[in-house]
Each structure stands twice: as structure tokens, then as C-alpha cells.
Amino acid sequence: MVTDPPVKLTPVSYVVLGLLAQDGPSTPYELKAAVGRSIGNFWSFPHTQLYTEPERLAAAGLVREKQEATGRRRRTFTITAAGRRALQAWLGEPASFSRELRDLGLLKLFFGGLVDPEAVRALAAEQEKAHLRKLEDFEALEREGRTDGDAHRRSVLRMGLLYERAAARFWAEVAAGALPEPDVER
């Protein structure tokens, strides 16, 4: 049994491994589509990574690559037994606490003291609208059942929905209050 060179497995690695495990052999383009429909909604990365990452994983023996000999010469990637082991190992260990809310709107709000109140209000209005739009997307997805995947996948979309709902309400408050004094008697 040959030992492949070790690679650091990143979240993207597990996205690829997981999708290959759940959906079966896929081309990068199919991965891209699957991501866009699901994870991409709350954890995005450029499509190029879905071309390069499987390559990395192939070098590590965690996926196998097969390329069409003709036409588009598509590359189809398949998860290997070693890949499944790595994925299961990761899924098995505790996730601990690791979440980032990387929101440029919030970042700007954080520095709201540096601009005039009108600008803050504009920001809040814009953000509220954006989150409402996203919220509607999610609600439509849920309603129409146009979500693919199992219950867990849908569950994740639901968390996205809950977040958008909270965010929209939050920004509405900011837009209304402009300067939200904390619990001053209104």
C-alpha cells in the first residue's frame, strides 16, 4: 500500500469529498452547480476551486480522476476508499465552535460613528432590502420544495433562512432607530 503525500484538508476539501460521496462521481461543473444550489448560499468560493481542489485530492489519493478521451474531455472525479475514510474521520470528530459572520454591511456599521447618520440609515435600508430578497429566495425554495438533497441539506438551508430573517429585522431596527441607544426608555 503506497502512502500518498499528505495534504492539508480544508473546508473546501470536505465539501468536495462530501458531494462526491453523496451525489456520486461528478465533474467540476456538476460540483459547481451543486454548490451553487446549496452550500454556496452561506459559504461561497470561486468556481476555479472546484477545478483545482479535486486535483489536489487526487494527488493525495482521496479521489480518482477519469478523463473522457474525446469531445470536451471532461474530467470526472470519484471518491476513493481513502477519501471516504478521511471524510468519515472528519465528520466523526467534534466540530467545536467555529463560525464566522463575514458581513461587509456589519463591518461598515461598526464604523458608523465615522460617517453621518444619514449614511448609516442608507446602509441599513440597503442591507435590509438585500436580506429580505435573500429571505424570499429561501422561503420560495422551502415552499416549492425545489430543494434537492436529504433532510439535512434542507435543514442547513433553513438555518440560512433563520439568519436572513434575523438580519432583516436587525437592519430594520437600525434604519428606524438610526442611533440605537441601548434600552434607553425609547
Partner DNA sequence: CCTATCATGTAATCCGTTACATGATTAT
Partner DNA sequence: ATAATCATGTAACGGATTACATGATAGG
Q: Is the dihedral of CA 123, 129, 133, 136 positive or negative?
A: positive
Residues 47-66 that bind DNA (CB under 7 A): 47-49, 51-53, 55-56
- Of 82 and 109, the one with the shorter C-beta distance to its own copies is 109
Stretch of 67-75, 91-99, 124-132, 149-157 lying at the interface with DNA (CB under 7 A): 67-75
The answer to whether 180 contacts its own copies (rule: CB under 8 A) is: yes
Contacts of 12 (CB under 8 A, 6+ apart): 45, 49, 53
DSSP annotation of 26 reads B
Phi, psi of 77 (to 5 degrees): -110, 140
95's contact among its own copies, DNA, none, with CB below 5 to 8 A by partner kind, is: its own copies
140 interacts with its own copies by CB under 8 A: no
* Minimum distance from residue 65 beta carbon to its own copies (Å): 22
Question: Which helix (H) or strand (E) element contains residue 168?
Answer: helix 151-177
